[in-house]
Every structure is written in structure tokens, then in C-alpha cells.
């Protein structure tokens, strides 16, 4: 490129410059929601709820929950029959008596022998009234989980649910 004073300016630095600004630009586009409609950016990597090794463990005893409680309700909104490679998980938390939820007490366990606590795998997806995982993954098979959540008065709500992954 030739400038008005006759000197030439090359674009030799452009690839390096673009490499330095590419990541912040993509991050800014994510923050503004501009890439949310592009499928390759909106879904991201699935959260692997259970490893293949964990799925091969013997099934644990599935306890029943029959007691009436004033603790929070937990309701699976997502379908129970899914394609295991990529599916959404949505659990609704229901407050009882207008009492606030203690989100730090949320716990989810994979009911195998021994029981496997998978809470930390999904903790970042818990918000004020839901657990929302846009893309989750499970090995093929029938998987049983137990969730629990307390309210700020210490009352516990528990729910059992199963997901059949094909």
C-alpha cells in the first residue's frame, strides 16, 4: 500500500495482529449475544453428566420418596427419553410458602453402587429457580438420579428421576 508521502506500508503484521484480537472479538460477540443464533457457537461442548465407567457400575438401590414435605419442589421439565449425545436438561425449582431457596445446598447424585455425587459437574448451570443445561450427554442406557435442595429455613425437597438415553 502506498501512502500520500510516497512511502510503502506492508501488511506483514496483519496475521499476528488478527491472531491477537480474534479471541477478544469473539468473546465480545458472545457477550452481546450476536453469536447465540449460530449453532456451532450457541450449543458449545456438552456437559458429560456420567462417564462410561460410571455407567458400567452396578445399579444402586432406588429409594422411594413418599413423605409430604414443605421443602422446595424439584420438577424435571426435560423429556425422560433422549438421544444421549446431546440433549437439554431443565429442572424447575418450586418455592413453597414464599421461602427463598438455598442454592448452595443443591445436590444431584447418580444412583449407582456406590452413589456418585455429580453436583460439581452442573453447579455452574444452577440459577435462581432452575437447573438449565443446554447440552448434556449420557452414555446409552437408563440412568437414575436423586436431586435435593433446601430452602433458607432448612427444609429439604428431594426428587428422583430417570433418563433413558438412546
What does pTM read for this prediction?
A: 0.70
Q: Which CATH superfamily is domain 47-165 in?
A: Immunoglobulins (2.60.40.10)
DSSP code for 37: T
Domain ranges across the chain: 1-42, 47-165
Model confidence pLDDT, tens digit, residues 12-60 = 444 444 444 444 444 433 344 433 333 334 457 899 999 999 999 999 8
pLDDT digits over 56-100, tens only? 999 987 666 566 678 999 999 988 888 878 899 999 999 998 999
108 contacts 133 by C-beta, under 8 angstroms: no
What DSSP state is assigned to residue 97? T
* CA distances (Å), origin 123, targets 41, 46, 83, 108: 21, 14, 23, 9
Amino acid at each position: 500500500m502506498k501512502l500520500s508521502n510516497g512511502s510503502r506500508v506492508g501488511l506483514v503484521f496483519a496475521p499476528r495482529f488478527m491472531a491477537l484480537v480474534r479471541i477478544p472479538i469473539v468473546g465480545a460477540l458472545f457477550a452481546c449475544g450476536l453469536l447465540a443464533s449460530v449453532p456451532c457457537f450457541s450449543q458449545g461442548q456438552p456437559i458429560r453428566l456420567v462417564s462410561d465407567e460410571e455407567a458400567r457400575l452396578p445399579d444402586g438401590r432406588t429409594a422411594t420418596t413418599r413423605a409430604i414435605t414443605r421443602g422446595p419442589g424439584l420438577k424435571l421439565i426435560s423429556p425422560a427419553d433422549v438421544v444421549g449425545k446431546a440433549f437439554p436438561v431443565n429442572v424447575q425449582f418450586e418455592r413453597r410458602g414464599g421461602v427463598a431457596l438455598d442454592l448452595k445446598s443443591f445436590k444431584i447424585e447418580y444412583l449407582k453402587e456406590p452413589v456418585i455425587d455429580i453436583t460439581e459437574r452442573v453447579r455452574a448451570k444452577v440459577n435462581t429457580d432452575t437447573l438449565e443445561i443446554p447440552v448434556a450427554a449420557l452414555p446409552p442406557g437408563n440412568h437414575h438420579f436423586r436431586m435435593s435442595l433446601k430452602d433458607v429455613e432448612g427444609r429439604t425437597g428431594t426428587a428422583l428421576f430417570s433418563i433413558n438415553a438412546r
